[in-house]
């Protein structure tokens, strides 16, 4: 390969890697606990209006809101706002937040789980596997969640 061509391919590869790292850091930040806490506090009024609208309609069809996947789990008394999962296959991590209609901590996708206190939140671990969940109150009936499979 000619030196000029080699230089061009190397520079292109480096630029692609830098762009990928930047993209990953932006996505990773959106999933961080601090970001989610700030997001809920900053968008509290808008989120409350959305929750009121969803509860009035009782529509359990998944929808989108500001890049969050939103779904009402009526039987679990919650509305979940989920970001894109990180990881592959058996090592996925889901993060987001949810509105708890009764103000109590809830399981991922409305699953019934028994949480143990884990100051300042609660955690759950699968007895015979590596699944793990953590939830923490953000404000009033709003909670942060992280679910690892």
In the prediction, which pLDDT does 59 show?
82
State how far the Cα of 86 lies from the Cα of 24, in Å rounded to an integer: 10
Predicted pLDDT of residue 101:
96
Cβ atoms 92, 86 nearer than 8 A = yes
Low-confidence ranges of the chain (pLDDT < 50): 11, 13-29
pTM for the whole thing? 0.78
Note the pLDDT of residue 3: 65
- Amino acid 10: pLDDT: 52
| pLDDT number for residue 58 | 82
């Amino acid at each position: 390969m000619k030196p000029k061509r080699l230089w061009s391919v190397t520079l292109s590869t480096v630029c692609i890697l830098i762009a990928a790292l930047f993209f990953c850091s932006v996505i990773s930040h959106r999933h961080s606990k601090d970001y989610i806490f700030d997001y809920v506090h900053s968008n509290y009024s808008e989120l409350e209006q959305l929750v009121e609208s969803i509860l009035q309609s009782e529509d359990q069809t998944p929808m989108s809101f500001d890049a969050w996947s939103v779904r009402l789990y009526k039987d679990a008394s919650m509305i979940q706002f989920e970001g894109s999962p990180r990881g592959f296959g058996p090592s996925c991590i889901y993060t987001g937040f949810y509105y708890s209609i009764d103000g109590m901590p809830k399981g991922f996708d409305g699953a019934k789980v028994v949480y143990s206190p884990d100051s300042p939140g609660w955690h759950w671990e699968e007895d015979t596997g590596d699944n793990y969940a953590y939830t923490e109150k953000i404000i009033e009936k709003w909670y942060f969640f992280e679910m690892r499979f």
